[in-house]
Every structure is written in C-alpha cells, then in structure tokens.
C-alpha cells in the first residue's frame, strides 16, 4: 500500500476510534504520531540519504540538502556560519565540512564535504505546489536515523519583505571619524568579521566620515542585499562584502504571536519568494529538503517563522541557486 492510501486508512481508523473516545485522537494517530509518521516511510528514506545534519561539535545546529554526488550540500547560512568545528552527517556517516559559497539574499550557504557517491535530491518538475498538498521534512533525528514530519502547503507562494528596513549592524563612536564602537551579534557586519575599533572608510565606494554618511549610503538599500565595506584596521585598509540585515532581525521586537510561538529562526524575513507550510519543526530544523509524497524535492526549508508558519525556498529558485553557488565555488 502506498503512502497516500495508507495515510487515508490510518486517518479513517483513527477517526473511527476517536468517535468512541471523547472525540479525541489517540496520540499514535495525531499529526506527528508514530502511526501517521510510518505512512511516510518512503519519503523518510529519501531524507535519510539526501538530507544532512549540520553539527557544531556534538550539537545539531541545522539540516542540509544534498545537491551533488560529489559532496555539495546547501544549508541555512546564518545558522552555520562562524562555526569553529563544522561537521556534517549524511545518512549515518560523519564528515568534516567547510563553507565554500554564500548567497546572502536567500540566506543559503554551500558546504563541501570530501565524499563521492552521495544521493542528491531529485527536484520536482512542478514550479508551484498547490495549497493543501502534503509535504514531508526532517524532524528530530538521531545519529543514524531521520524522523519524517508531515504537513501541508498552507499558503500561496509570495515574497517575505524584510522587517524594519536595512542596516549594517554597527554603532559609530561619537565624535570619531567613523570608528566602530559596537557590532550587533545578529548582523551581517558580525558575520563578515567587522570588529570594534575598525574605522569605516567607504560603503560601495562612497566616503564615510561620520554616522550621517553611513545612514545616507544605506538609505536606498534593501535588507538581504550586500554592500562593499572598506575599513581600516591597524593602519591597513581592506574591503569586504557585508550582508545588510533587517532591523527586526537584529533588534528583536516580539509580537504576542511571537511570544506564544516557541523558538523561531533569527532570520525569518527578507526572502524574494517562499512557499509556506505548517510542519512544526524546531528552530534548528531549517536547511533540509521539503519533499512531496513521491520523495521529490519541492523546496528547501529556510525559516521557522512562528507556531503556524514555516518557509521554504521554492524548487525552481532552489535549483537555480544551487547551480550558481556550485559554479561560484568552482571558480
């Protein structure tokens, strides 16, 4: 019996049982109960071989999506960057890993491991997934076994605009020549390595001598885009690319819904296009593939937004992004 028929049988049986038990589903038949999860075993097997667990030491920090047989894996950049000891588990094998390319707009990092013969995800051919479609993602995982979590596509594809406008993420010291007094730990400036004491010289070639110059240089920029920051440290000038973060990403402003949502992704806005689903994954369950019932990849999870919304990069954009990052890494 395939997953679709088995799932219908389980739901029918569960509902029949529930009608005699105070109209309450037994835990085994609830959305993520063992019996329901078992119906998605074929998709779980795809997760086992084509998704990865990203680790910092012994701590799971995100998931990954295998995109090539020779060891290229996509993950959520802001969850894995600046990790001192990044390792990756594919199926049940552990590898040392390194970040080889980053796309700041999508918040996606390309990771390389020394492996051959991996099973990359098979992309779905449909560009858009209709609302109500069943999807499957990684849930809690052990060292050797993935656990599938089911859900449905719950909204139409759309852009998620950045909250609060764009900011570099630094504080300029008063009465100084653009000396950095502080760096926000959730900012692109922190990701890129800017430090307290650095002196800003230019943004995209525009001279910076005071905080007003910095505000003017960023006025028309969008969160998620990058700028070239020229700065001076220990008498030497250097230019680096820095992602502009949304102000809401750096300075947490919780709504009542946020307070009731448990942990969610630090970056959850500023994506050009997402598909939305209702899988209740953890904060660190982003980065893995989102599959349909045939085990085909319809997207990559990029943010847990709140208790009812998770976002994934749609398959068309994901495929293009993977090809670009692999090409960039090979230059």
CA-nearest of 252, 253, 248, 231 to 240 is: 231
pLDDT digits (tens, 9 = 90+) for 175-211: 788 999 999 988 889 988 999 999 999 999 999 998 8
CA-nearest of 138, 174, 133 to 155 is: 133
pLDDT at 223 over 80: no
Q: Who wins on pLDDT, 176 or 64?
A: 64
pLDDT digits (tens, 9 = 90+) for 275-320: 999 998 888 889 999 999 999 999 999 999 888 899 999 999 999 9
Tell me, what's the pLDDT at 36? 82
């Amino acid at each position: 019996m395939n997953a679709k028929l088995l799932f219908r049988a389980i739901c029918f049986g569960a509902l029949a049982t529930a009608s005699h038990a105070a109209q309450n589903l037994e835990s085994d038949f609830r959305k993520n109960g063992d019996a329901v999860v078992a119906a998605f075993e074929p998709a779980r097997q795809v997760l086992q071989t084509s998704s990865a667990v990203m680790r910092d030491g012994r701590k799971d920090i995100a998931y990954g999506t295998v995109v090539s047989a020779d060891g290229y894996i996509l993950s959520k950049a802001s969850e894995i960057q600046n990790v001192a000891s990044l390792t990756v588990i594919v199926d049940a094998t552990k590898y040392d890993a390194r970040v080889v390319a980053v796309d700041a707009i999508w918040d996606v990092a390309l990771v390389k491991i020394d492996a051959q013969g991996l099973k990359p995800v098979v992309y779905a051919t449909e560009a858009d997934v209709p609302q109500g479609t069943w999807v499957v993602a990684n849930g809690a995982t052990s060292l050797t076994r993935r656990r599938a979590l089911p859900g449905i596509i719950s909204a139409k594809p759309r852009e998620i605009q950045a909250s609060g406008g764009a900011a570099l993420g630094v504080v300029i010291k008063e009465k100084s020549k653009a000396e950095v007094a502080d760096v926000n730990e959730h900012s692109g400036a922190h990701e890129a390595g800017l430090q307290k004491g650095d002196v800003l010289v230019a943004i995209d070639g525009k001279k910076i001598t005071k905080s007003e110059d910095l505000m003017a240089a960023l006025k028309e920029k969008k969160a998620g885009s990058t700028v070239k920051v020229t700065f001076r440290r220990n008498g030497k000038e250097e230019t680096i690319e820095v992602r502009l973060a949304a102000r809401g990403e750096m300075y947490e402003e919780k709504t009542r819904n946020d307070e009731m949502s448990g942990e969610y992704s630090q970056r959850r806005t500023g994506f050009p296009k997402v598909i939305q689903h209702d899988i209740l994954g953890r904060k660190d369950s982003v980065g893995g593939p989102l599959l349909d019932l045939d085990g085909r990849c319809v997207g990559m999870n990029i943010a847990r937004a709140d208790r009812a919304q998770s976002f994934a990069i749609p398959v068309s954009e994901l495929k293009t992004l993977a090809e670009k990052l692999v090409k960039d890494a090979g230059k």
